[in-house]
Structures are given as structure tokens and as C-alpha cells.
Structure 1
Amino acid sequence: MYKRLSILILALFVLGACAETQLLVHTAKQIGRSTKSEPTQQGRYKIGNPYQIKGVWYYPAVDYGYNKTGIASWYGPGFHGKRTANGETYDQNALTAAHKTLPMPSIVQVTNLDNGRSIKVTVNDRGPYAYGRVIDMSRRGAQLLGFHRKGTARVRVTVLADESRMLAQQIKSGAVLAKIGTPIRRDIDVAKPGVASETLLPPQGAKKANRPTPRFTPRETVVASRQRVTDTPTAPNGIVSTGPVKPTNMFVQAGAFTRYDFANRTVARLSELGNVKITTVKIRGKEFYRVRAGPIGALENADHVLERIIRAGFSNARIVVD
């Protein structure tokens, strides 16, 4: 009798231990799964190495003077929730964009030359890799600029130098990068006193003094000895500014040369395209000779001309708008 009872108690103990072990294993799996699948929106500062797509080389670099025109496109549903080139989680409803060479992140002003609308966005991805596209906007960016349904627009892209520098410094210094499209916040440790406090009894005969009014930061802004500072200048805020709309023409630029004879040779090589001309422009005090085909009316025709010029050996050719 006692032997059977002992065996029964032992069996219950073993079963209980097994059940507890299974519970711990199950809990560990759940914790591991939730940790693994938890999305993170914090990216890193990245320039990257030169790379080649469809026979064209791209050279990422810091360029705070970047100011170019071209054709914008947009990307969204097929990439929503995936990683961008600098490690963030792509959000098609945020104010972001992809660019082929600018540092990530950078702050740029994108202006739709067709309707005058202009917004700030954060470059946090690489692309677009279609010939003749200067920037790939998020779906939300395309909506605000007014070309979501059309698919493309003539735009000007300008790097905001001060804000891009500030953003780069914040990330390099370990600042907390908030969700893209919202203000960047830094967590700054508030130093604690290094001397221990002690409550002392007042001396005999001393009068009780009135308690002074506390002078410290309101409770809402200091939590657990951490203070949050928001640098609003770096944050694309979704505000759409509108400027005047001027008539524009579309060209395909084969290149810009510092020597006229190089430009003239390029015109000769592309003579079969028809209307190819040399125009001069000063960029940062230096004179350049631009070789352009056009003007071209339809974007489809510009894409075709661009492809022919690239096949002729001018891999840096691009569509421009003036």
C-alpha cells in the first residue's frame, strides 16, 4: 500500500516537473519570437560604396550643394514594412524618399514644378533604379505633391544643408532617431547630485522658516531623470508650401564638361538624335558646357532618348527640367 502510494506521489511530481519545463520552454519561445519580430524604426547614418545597376555606376557622397531637376516617381505597397538601405522600416505613409547617391538620412526639399507644391522629406533609402528618375517618393509624399495618381512629376530636389548636417550629427552622436517624418528627439542624462542628503534637527530656539517655492522643471518634462529635447528644424512636418508655376521644358543631358572641345565631340557622336545642342552655365563660379537633347514633350520620348544616349556610352546621362 505504502509502496503504491509512494510510486503515485513520485509520478505526480515527475509530471508536474515536466509540465513546468514545457511551460518554461513555451514561454521562452514566445519571448524569442516577439523579440525577433518586433520592428525597429531606428536607422544608421550611411553613405555607402560605389555600386552598379543596369550597367550604370553610382557614387554615393556628401553633397550639401545638391540642387537638381528631373522626374520623380513613388513607391509604396510592395515595400511597406521592409527594410530601407540604412536599416529603417519603410513606412509608405511617412515623409521619406529614396535617392541614388545622397547620404542617408538627408533632408531635402522636393518641389513639383508642374503645380508649385513643395515639401520636406527625409532620404532614407536607395533608388530609384529606373533610367531618368531623380528621386523616389513615399506614397504620402507623392500624395502631398499631387502626383500620386499620375505616377511621375517634374521636380526640383534641393538638399537642406543645415538640417542635413544637424541630423547627421545627431545620429552619429547616438541621438534617438524617432519615427521618420516626426521630430528627432535626443535623450540627455540629467546629472544627479553626488552628495548624500541627511535630515538634521533644528537647533534649540530656532524659528521655523517658510518653505521656499520650488524652482524646478515641471514634472511632465522630466521623467526618471531623463530630459527630452526636440530639434524641430530637422523634422519633415507635412506642411505643403505653394509657389508660382512657370513653364518648363524637358531635356536629356548627356553630360556637362569644363572643356568646349569635349562637349563638341559629344554633340558629334549624338548627331543622329537630331536636336542636340551645347549650352553654358556657371556652377559655383565655374563654367560648364552642357550637352542636351531636346526639348522633348512626352516623358515616354524622353525615356527613349535617354536610353539611347546611355547605350552610346554616356552612362551619367539624365533627364532634366528647365
Structure 2
Amino acid sequence: MMRATRHRPRSWAALLLSATLLTGCSEMNLFGHMAKRAAGDDPPPVGGAAPNYKIGKPYQVKGVWYYPREDWDYDESGIASWYGPDFHGKQTANGEAFDQNAVSAAHKTLPMPSVVRVTNLENGRALVIRVNDRGPFANGRVIDLSRRAAQLLGFEGQGTARVRVQIMPEESRALAGKLNTSPAAGGREPQVAAAPRESVTAETLPAPGSREAPRTISNGTVSSPAEARNAQALAKAERALANPDVQMDSVKATNLFVQAGAFSRHDNALRLQARLSGVGRPVISQTHVKGQTLFRVRFGPLSSVEEADRLLESVIATGQQDARVIVD
């Protein structure tokens, strides 16, 4: 049985049902989603947009800006949630009809579609999943999965799980190349005011390397090694997505933290630590990311997702909009 907390808005479809996005000083049209009715377990209606590749423009939700982009090194651990009955058959951010009984996912910034590997760190189950929606917009969630994906990963009943989300770069690039690399093709996007930083734009995928010698593949056509690798990656992605196969990884102990910020300067971390002393007892820890030393201001380890959610809301209330739940 689903937990009551599951019904908070998370995906793009959920957001369109329950909230109005602000664009500058005007309100955005919600595309008529409010008139659509939940469809239970019935198949989604025919007529959704054909799959297309899009990155999307920067957008704002609840005062927070999100910047969709291609990130072929994406690898993040956090809390996953799932969505299903209330949005079954409704349109995703990519223009497709959402099917709660198919394996899919919503992510705030990855291109649509992207191919990701999601591992449930609590039981070791791992699954290859296609991202075709935006979300989750509930604080402290890194990805929102369809009901079927949550079932296969073993957390439908509990509602959330500690997960690791890794993009599969070769498969994602190959799928993008097949569909059309223009982010403007198909799908509806939020109309937002200019973001307070450089715009995010789609880039054409690089052409196969001209220095590689061509070779003949099985159907008699001539292909470069790069094209052959791309074809293999595409075939691998399509097989994995068409026949979801749960893999098993080893289970390792993890800890939950609320991270309020990370800084390259220790004195900045000290200032934030002092400012958050009324919320709890934040600790500064040092880490190295891509050759850069960072000082993280964190609370934890915490005992449960519920405790992390409560603490996260308290930290955000102090003005730390970028605070998030971390799984280490």
C-alpha cells in the first residue's frame, strides 16, 4: 500500500496538476492538464507525441532555477520516489503519454530521453531506465520513477529508497542521435523568463571521427568504427529498455546527510556553519572533486528519510535553497 506522502507533486505531470509556475511577473498556462482525469491501470491513450530528443530551457519551480544540460559524467546518489495512478495517461514533459506500468523516470535536468542505471542501495537491485519526464520537485528527491520501475527495484511499498543514478553515456548519445538532436522538436516546455545565467542550449552531436578507417558491417554497408560503436550502443540500449532486466549488485552500508552547501574556501563554510547553528549541529567535512578541494557543510548521519526530510525543510527555510539530501 502506498504511503500518503507519495502523493506530493514530484514529476512534471504532477507539477502541472498542482502548481502554477511563475515566469517573471506573469503566470504560465498549465496546458490544460488540470482537465485530465487519472486513468487507473488502463493503458495510456494513443496520440502522445512521438519520442524526440530535447534538453529544454532553464525553468523555475518554487523559486528554484533548474538548468537542463547534457552531462555524460552524471553520477549521483540520493533518495528516489515514484509516481503512478494520478498521472497515468497524462503527458510527460517530453510530450509522451505517461504509462505507470512501463519502466520510465523523471529527472530535473538530464536530457530527454537519457538512459540511466538506477541502483537501489538498500537491496542491490539495479535497472536500466529511460528518462522522459521532468521532476521530482519535492525537496530532497533525486529521481522519480514510474510505479513499474519502483516495483522492480523493490520499493513500491515503502515509497522511497536510497539510490545511485548513473547516466549511460554511450547508450544515451546513441539514442539521441537516432531521435534527432534538435531540442526544439516536439514536447512542451515551460515558458520562463530569462534565467540569471547563460542560457542552456543543445549542441549537435559530434560527427564520427574522420581519421578512423571505414569498415563493412553485416548488411553490406560501409561504416566507420565510430558509427559501428554507436550502432552497438543503440542496440544495447534498445534491448535493455524493451526488456527490463533487474541486475543484482552487492549491498553496502550507506549514511544519510543533509548538505547545506559546499565551498572552495574554508572560511565560507565556517560562516554557513555558524549561521545554521540554530537548526542543529552542522559539521564541516573536506572532500576532493575533480581535483578541487571542497568544504561541505552537513548535518548527519541521520537515521531515516523522514528525519532527513524534516531537517532539509528547516535548512531550506533559512534561505539555503540548494540544500539537498545526500547518500554516502
For 1:85, the aligned partner's letter is A
Q: What number of residue pairs does the alignment pair up? A: 234
Cα distance in 1 for residues equivalent to 2:46 and 2:76: 38
Cα distance in 2 for residues equivalent to 1:130 and 1:82: 19
State which of 32, 46, 69 in structure 2 corresponds to 1:61.
Answer: 69
The equivalent residue for 2:237 is 234
Q: Is the 8 A contact 1:85 1:124 kept in 2?
A: yes
Is residue 80 of structure 2 the alignment partner of residue 72 of structure 1? yes
Unaligned runs of 5+ in 2: 1-44, 183-217, 220-230
Is residue 114 of structure 2 the alignment partner of residue 106 of structure 1? yes
Is residue 304 of structure 2 the alignment partner of residue 298 of structure 1? yes
Q: Provide the aligned C-alpha RMSD in A.
A: 1.9
Cα distance in 2 for residues equivalent to 1:295 and 1:38: 47
Cα distance in 2 for residues equivalent to 1:54 and 1:232: 39
Is residue 287 of structure 2 the alignment partner of residue 284 of structure 1? no
Q: Is the 8 A contact 1:57 1:315 kept in 2?
A: no
Is residue 93 of structure 2 the alignment partner of residue 85 of structure 1? yes
The equivalent residue for 1:164 is 172
Per-residue Cα deviation, 1:277-319 (whole angstroms, up to 9, x for no partner)? 1112222222211111111112222111111111211111110
Q: Is the 8 A contact 1:82 1:89 kept in 2?
A: yes
Cα distance in 2 for residues equivalent to 1:123 and 1:38: 20
Cα distance in 2 for residues equivalent to 1:72 and 1:316: 18
Q: Is the 8 A contact 1:263 1:289 kept in 2?
A: yes
The equivalent residue for 1:267 is 273
Per-residue Cα deviation, 1:255-276 (whole angstroms, up to 9, x for no partner)? 2212211111111111122231
The normalised TM-score by structure 2 is 0.68
The normalised TM-score by structure 1 is 0.69
Cα shift at 1:98: 0.2
Is residue 62 of structure 2 the alignment partner of residue 50 of structure 1? no
Q: Is the 8 A contact 1:66 1:159 kept in 2?
A: yes
Unaligned runs of 5+ in 1: 1-36, 175-215, 218-228
Query: What secondary structure is seen at the aligned counterpart in 1 of 2:162?
Result: strand
Cα distance in 2 for residues equivalent to 1:290 and 1:143: 34
Q: Is the 8 A contact 1:273 1:293 kept in 2?
A: no
Per-residue Cα deviation, 1:227-265 (whole angstroms, up to 9, x for no partner)? xx8832223231111111111110001122122111111
